[in-house]
Each structure stands twice: as structure tokens, then as C-alpha cells.
Amino acid sequence: MKVYIETKRLILRPLTPEDAEAAFRWCSDPDVNTYLYYPLYHQVEDVRTWLESRNPDDPDVYDEGIVLKETGELIGSGGLSFHPERNAWEIGYNLRADQWGHGYTVEMLNALMDHIRKIRPLEAIDGIFASENYKSQRVMEKLGMIYVAETKFSKLDGSRTFHALYYRRNFLQPSKRCSICAQIHRIRRKDNPYFVWELETGYVVLGDHQRFEGYTVFICKEHATKMNQLSAYARMAFLKDMTITAEVVQRAFHPDDLDCELISAEKSRHMHWHLFPKHNGDTPRSGPAWLAEDLNDDRYIPTPQKLEELKQALITQFKQIR
């Protein structure tokens, strides 16, 4: 499909036969080609023929030109193509070798996924890459994909066969049976008064009962009840987001102590951190916040005015810390 999307550093736009010379720079580079299905191109004319043969209106294929905003140069192409038999979108990309290592591929794919989601469901993404191609593994991990299986693939001309890894990410589909999905759905509709802030891997909300003023919950976006269900990248990002949240709660409410607990009960489906800001003497005895018997007493449900005040205290700190 034809798109025109601007991201922070890139423009994604349709490729045309006029791009043949620019595309030849990566299509003819053996380093770029090493792990691709497609053969190396030796003539600009062959690249032009390939560009002319593409159908830019195929609704199942988003294969776009990647332009660097800063210089206006076309530096690569890539995107996602839908595979109905797997109900998943497979990712693919090739980038000029002098542009590797800047995160452009991840930026491009995230923008395209956001675009596709506005038009149709995007339930999963798949990627298959040669196991020795650690750069692609990094891309998959940054996209939150996790290892599924070992496999292999051959170049189209049969010249090489690679031992390969198959990675996948299943996206959260709102589930009627999941109360946290319902909460997230309301956050996305801007209809959740407890919502405070969105981080890369989760949402920050205020707790329903404010027995400990400033009690905050950080909820994982994914259906994951254990850390090992997240990709290596997402795991570290989730922990980093939690420490940011803890720091924000600390700065906003200046507690003497901050209880942080990761709850990963199977039935909640989204693991989440509880952060209780505690002050000396606010419980009859020391120990975890859970020991306070009146933790969920209705008199601790905040008034709309109080809720707003607590939210603003956190938002002010989130804006400063990032």
C-alpha cells in the first residue's frame, strides 16, 4: 500500500522506478545482501525492472521507501506483509550499510505498525533471520519479539541456506474477560480518570484506594504474568520504566519509605507493580503495606478533586524526569 508517513527522523513513502539509482546502492552491496532472499543486483536497469514490477496497491503489502529527513536521501526500503495462514505480518527491510546502527529500521516498522492498526487488526508480527545475523536479532528484540523456533531458509537462487531463528510478537487484543484490558481500553479512549502516564512498556495509574496517599500502579502493556514471557529487550525496558515510576512517586510524595511489589498473579494476565509511598507512623505496625487492614476501605477512594491533585503531582515529575 502507498503511504506517506513522517517519523522523527524519517519519511516513509512509495518507491517508484525513479528510485532505481538510489536503490541500486543497497541492492548491489554484498554486505546488505548477505542474509536476504533476493539475489544481488549488478545493474541499475535490473533494479528499475524490479521497481516497475511491484504492485504498490496490494493491501497486504507495505513495502516503503525510507528517506532520511535530514538529507532527503533514500536510504533503504522495508515494511510488513500479511500472511493470512499465520494471521501475522512478516517484517522485512534492507538499509544502506552506511546507515546501519541508528535504529532507523525499528523507527520505520513502529510507524508502519501504528499506521496499519488504524486501518485493520494487527495481531502479530513475525520475523525470520539467519541465526548468525545478530543485527537483525537486535531489531526483533527492540520490537518486543521473542524466540519461537529454529528454522532455515535459502536464498532464492539456492546459493546459500542459513540456519535461522523465527521470532514473533503477539499484540495485546482487548479481551472481554480481562479487566486490565478493559482498563487499558478506557485509557486509550481517554476515559480513565485514574490514568497518569504512558511509558514504553506500561501504563501508570493511581490506585483505587489511597490509604497510602500517592499509591500508584504500573501495569505491563502485554499479556505477560512473568518476566521471562517478555523479550530480553522488553524485560529490561519494563524494569527501567518501573524505576522511573518509583523515582517519580518518590519525588512527588517524599515518602519515608516506598514499598514496590511486582504482582504476577495468573488471573490478572498483566503483571503490575504496586508502589506504596509510606510515612513513618502511618500504620500501627511496620511491615508491608498489605498488612494495613483498612487498605481497601471505601473512605480512601479519592474525590475527583483529590485524584486530580495526585495526578498532577505525578505528571509534573514525569515531565521533569524525561
Give whichever of 66 and 224 is closer to Zn ion, judged by the CB atom: 224
For the bound state, the minimum distance from the C-beta of residue 235 to Zn ion, rounded and expressed in Å, comes to: 19
> CA 318 to CA 245: how far, in whole Å?
8
Give whichever of 96 and 272 is closer to Zn ion, judged by the CB atom: 272
- CA nearest neighbour of 249 among 310, 202, 301, 199: 310
- CA nearest neighbour of 54 among 37, 88, 77, 72: 77
For the bound state, the minimum distance from the C-beta of residue 269 to Zn ion, rounded and expressed in Å, comes to: 5
> CA 55 to CA 53: how far, in whole Å?
7
Give whichever of 178 and 289 is closer to Zn ion, judged by the CB atom: 178
Given a contact cutoff of 8 angstroms between Cβ atoms, the answer to whether 247 and 199 are in contact is: no
For the bound state, the minimum distance from the C-beta of residue 225 to Zn ion, rounded and expressed in Å, comes to: 10
Give whichever of 138 and 186 is closer to Zn ion, judged by the CB atom: 186
For the bound state, the minimum distance from the C-beta of residue 268 to Zn ion, rounded and expressed in Å, comes to: 8
Give whichever of 64 and 241 is closer to Zn ion, judged by the CB atom: 241
- CA nearest neighbour of 115 among 238, 5, 232: 5
Residue type, 47: V
Please report, as ranges, the residues that interact with Zn ion according to CB under 5 A: 178, 180-181, 269
For the bound state, the minimum distance from the C-beta of residue 208 to Zn ion, rounded and expressed in Å, comes to: 18
Q: Residue with C-alpha cell 532464492?
A: 156
Is residue 201 left, alpha or beta, with left meaning phi > 0 and alpha meaning psi from -120 to 50?
A: alpha
